[in-house]
Amino acid sequence: MVSGAHPGARIVLVAALASGQGKTTVTAALARRLVRAGQRVRVFKCGPDFIDPMLLERACGATVHTLDLWMVGLEECRARLAEAARQADTVLVEGVMGLYDGTPSAADLARAFGIPVLAVIDASAMAQTAGAVALGLRDYGPVDLAGVLANRVASPGHARMVAGSLRDIALLGSLPRQRQALPERHLGLVLPHELPQLDTHLDTLADALELDEAAWQALPLLLPEAPEAPAVEALLAGRTIAIARDAAFCFLYPANLDTLRRLGAQLLFFSPLADEPVPAGADAVYLPGGYPELHGEALSGAAHWRASINAAHAAGLPVLAECGGMMALADELTAPDGRSWPMAGVLPGVVRMGERLAGLGPQALDTAAGQLRGHTFHYSRFETPLAPVEHTLRHPAGTPGEAVYRAGALTASYFHGYFASNPQAAASLFTRVAP
């Protein structure tokens, strides 16, 4: 971190002992509170995720990008942080899993950029032991611990006991137990548009957040040095990419859209759920992931959509189908309760939803232009007579990951690519049958 004419921003990484401690709730509450106080707030999510960023975007009112030292890359993370610090008063980075979990971890990210850590501790079943947890989180790495925010405290007296246990660590704030929790689904939080009272709930959380204003204001201002942006050849100049975007196809990194535009592509969006066909004049189609299993009936009845994607495939248009996008192209989609719906039928086979996780973790796709990094997270299995043309590689093990299927100019897999990790490789998926 370096200083300059710009004063910089207050930057903290919100982390915890493990998943389920309330990182997203605390980050959202803090973001909404600061926004209502007139601050410009930017929020990032550490690690692969689609749903938490949607909620955090509602909390702060700005696009939420991903930071990950492996998938996004050190220099891209640095550029994103530098841009945010020049636009905002506060930058919040929500961690992933526990502070030291993963390769790389949220702690690795914090150390790479000198970001202080705000430790969220679920105090619902402890009091003074919170001090031991905080000391362990600080010293194990170690990390620069800005302080603790105690979540799910029972009373002001409970918060004082936690504060008294922290020794030389500041209790920056506390959040009481909430009557209304953020609902969860098998892939995480439900989508923001499905929560009609979400803004009211975020305001309630912001009101309930007890923040030590003096300790918060004492945190340093940081200004990451902005690296020079690498040149990106306009490999998709003059090409139009049709992108499915609705409640069934919503798992889409904002950086992927940025990358396609930097490559020179024009983007057109359409809704299969609304039975909109692939837009006329499209040169390629992108079907991102999402929740097609929650909209099986609507998708099965979307005759215009189904006919148009079959026609686009028959005409040889490059089609990239990621996870939910691939599921929607199968012959059939079957839910755990036995209900099934016909899908577009571009890919032979049946997708069967399960109750247990079927794929998780960072992976990379090999292409002639190098590796495209990304991840996988799904609860379904694709039973198909198609033979995979290759498999992704799991990080860091390097073992085979998700199957990659190709049919003509269609590339389909459970793998979600992060296009900015290799723009040239991403472009190849939309210009020809991928290598």
E strands, 218-314, are 221-222, 240-244, 266-270, 284-287
Question: Tokens representing 141?
Answer: 């790495």
Residue 405 to residues 256, 286, 318, 377, 416, Cα–Cα distance (Å): 21, 15, 13, 17, 14
Within 74-220, residue ranges assigned H as helices are: 74-87, 106-113, 129-140, 156-165, 198-208, 213-217
46 is annotated as an active-site residue: no
Which DSSP helix (H) or strand (E) runs through 26?
helix 23-36
The DSSP 8-state label assigned to residue 145 in this structure reads E
Residues 6+ apart with CB under 8 A from 358: 378, 379, 380, 381
Question: Tokens representing 252?
Answer: 């889409």
How large is the C-alpha radius of gyration of the chain? Answer: 22
Beta-bridge mates of residue 42 = 91
Strand order in the sheet with 370-378: 266-270, 240-244, 284-287, 319-322, 410-413, 400-407, 390-394, 359-367, 370-378, 416-417
The DSSP 8-state label assigned to residue 414 in this structure reads S
Strand order in the sheet with 380-383: 340-342, 330-334, 347-353, 380-383
C-beta separation of 206 from 178 below 8 A? no
* Catalytic residue selected from 46, 60, 250, 323: 323
* Own/partner pairs, 357-363, CB within 8 angstroms, 24+ separation: 359/401, 359/402, 359/414, 361/394, 361/395, 361/401, 362/48, 362/68, 362/70, 362/71, 362/394, 362/395, 363/392, 363/393, 363/394, 363/395, 363/401, 363/402, 363/415
Separation of alpha carbons 429 and 435, rounded Å: 8
Residue 5 to residues 8, 86, 246, 394, Cα–Cα distance (Å): 9, 10, 42, 43
The set of catalytic residues is 323
